[in-house]
A = this chain, B = another copy of it.
């Protein structure tokens, strides 16, 4: 098995100013390719620290990936240290990256300075993978057998650029290392806690052939991603075997499965609506705009999403959404009746085909009738209105996320029901 280390370089991480998200993205990509990440490391912009730590990682791992320290300012010293480490005798200018730098500056209306031009210069012992998203190129150092016998990839630290470089790096790794072929298939599942899901699929999981492995990847907004991996081959008969297992798993889980790729509930709801030519609106109380925010994060959502009303005050529920004051007085603000009236109100107001609503208590406090973490969800559509109650036990921010995810899932199930016939 191929072993890898990931190393971030930069003082901003060691003082807690920046959370390192690059390492996690790199690790996920390496793991999917069957490479074992043994260590992640964060060190400062210090020559000796960089040299000592990278020497150590190169002696222990087959692949070392660094991010950061490649900027144009004087505290970014990684490139010089890598030149030293690799025994480079000087720097050479990379024409391709220089041309990219030129284009980027031109688009921003800036002139090329010496510091910009220097970004295209790399140690003569490295290969370059061009970085089209920024000014610092990706550098590849292949250390011969008599010195480490390992490969070092140096990536820029800007997350957008580091993540953008992952496909190029993975391609290079595949070209140079004998990776065991692995087939992955994902199922997105919503509506079961990890423990309940694990129990429900235990008989299926226990009967999996030895060369297949299942991973649980949970997330508060998207539920659980189940990833089935098949090691040792991607022949046609093996593909068939994986497909058979996935089919069986889908039968067990039914409509709790919402997608067969890495996905979100809001994108799934969007595809259902778009496919059926239907539109959506939302009326949010306790979620305060989060549902609308999630829906509109999906590019192209304007094709089916008309808009929403956040009715935080009772007066807005009554005046804008037309919830009858006597309903609020009789049933309480956090109730099935108010959730239904809100969904119906915003559906009428916007003229959408479907509407989803929330009314509840995100925290920090409950009220006289309901504990904190209570939410009523409504969905109104051409076939009527339905409501659903849920109870969570989290802090304010997490409750808002869980309420929004539950609402999107309730909407998804309603759309599935309505559209199947």
- Given the complex of chains A and B, what is the CA–CA distance between A400 and B299 in angstroms? 12
The answer to whether A363 and B310 touch across the interface, beta carbons within 8 angstroms, is no
Closest to A32 in B: B16
User: Which listed segment binds B: A19-27, A93-101, A249-257?
Assistant: A19-27
Render A281-321 as a binary contact track against B, CB cut-off 8 A, 1 for contact: 11010011111110111010110011111111101100110
User: Which listed segment binds B: A41-49, A113-121, A382-390?
Assistant: A41-49
Assess whether A184 is interfacial by the CB under 8 Å rule. no
Complex interface residues of chain A between 359 and 384 (CB less than 8 A to chain B): 362-364
If the complex has contacts A19-B19, A40-B41, A301-B312, are A296 and B288 also in contact, measured as CB distance less than 8 A?
Answer: yes
Across the interface, which residues of B come within 8 angstroms of A287, CB to CB? 293
Assess whether A204 is interfacial by the CB under 8 Å rule. no
The answer to whether B16 and A19 touch across the interface, beta carbons within 8 angstroms, is no
Closest to A302 in B: B312
If the complex has contacts A315-B350, A349-B320, are A24 and B13 also in contact, measured as CB distance less than 8 A?
Answer: yes
Assess whether A207 is interfacial by the CB under 8 Å rule. no
- Given the complex of chains A and B, what is the CA–CA distance between A20 and B27 in angstroms? 12
- Given the complex of chains A and B, what is the CA–CA distance between A262 and B362 in angstroms? 23
If the complex has contacts A27-B15, A37-B14, are A310 and B312 also in contact, measured as CB distance less than 8 A?
Answer: no
The answer to whether B297 and A396 touch across the interface, beta carbons within 8 angstroms, is yes
Complex interface residues of chain A between 68 and 108 (CB less than 8 A to chain B): 108
The answer to whether B297 and A397 touch across the interface, beta carbons within 8 angstroms, is yes
Assess whether A351 is interfacial by the CB under 8 Å rule. yes
Across the interface, which residues of B come within 8 angstroms of A108, CB to CB? 393
- Given the complex of chains A and B, what is the CA–CA distance between A312 and B293 in angstroms? 11
Across the interface, which residues of B come within 8 angstroms of A349, CB to CB? 319-320
The answer to whether B309 and A308 touch across the interface, beta carbons within 8 angstroms, is yes
The answer to whether A24 and B20 touch across the interface, beta carbons within 8 angstroms, is yes
Interface bin, chain A: 35 or more
A14 to chain B, nearest CB (A): 5
- Given the complex of chains A and B, what is the CA–CA distance between A41 and B311 in angstroms? 46
Across the interface, which residues of B come within 8 angstroms of A14, CB to CB? 27, 31, 37-40
The answer to whether B29 and A24 touch across the interface, beta carbons within 8 angstroms, is no
The answer to whether A28 and B16 touch across the interface, beta carbons within 8 angstroms, is yes
The answer to whether A41 and B38 touch across the interface, beta carbons within 8 angstroms, is no
A133 to chain B, nearest CB (A): 11
Closest to A288 in B: B296
If the complex has contacts A290-B293, A397-B297, are A16 and B44 also in contact, measured as CB distance less than 8 A?
Answer: no
- Given the complex of chains A and B, what is the CA–CA distance between A309 and B49 in angstroms? 53
Across the interface, which residues of B come within 8 angstroms of A313, CB to CB? 279, 302, 305-307, 350
A202 to chain B, nearest CB (A): 15
The answer to whether A351 and B319 touch across the interface, beta carbons within 8 angstroms, is yes
Assess whether A17 is interfacial by the CB under 8 Å rule. yes
What 5 A-B pairs have minimum CB-CB distances, sorted nearest first? A288-B296, A16-B28, A289-B292, A16-B27, A289-B289
16 sample A-B contacts, Cβ–Cβ < 8 Å, listed by A number: A14-B37, A15-B28, A15-B31, A16-B23, A20-B23, A39-B41, A39-B42, A40-B41, A281-B316, A282-B310, A289-B310, A290-B293, A305-B312, A306-B312, A308-B308, A320-B320
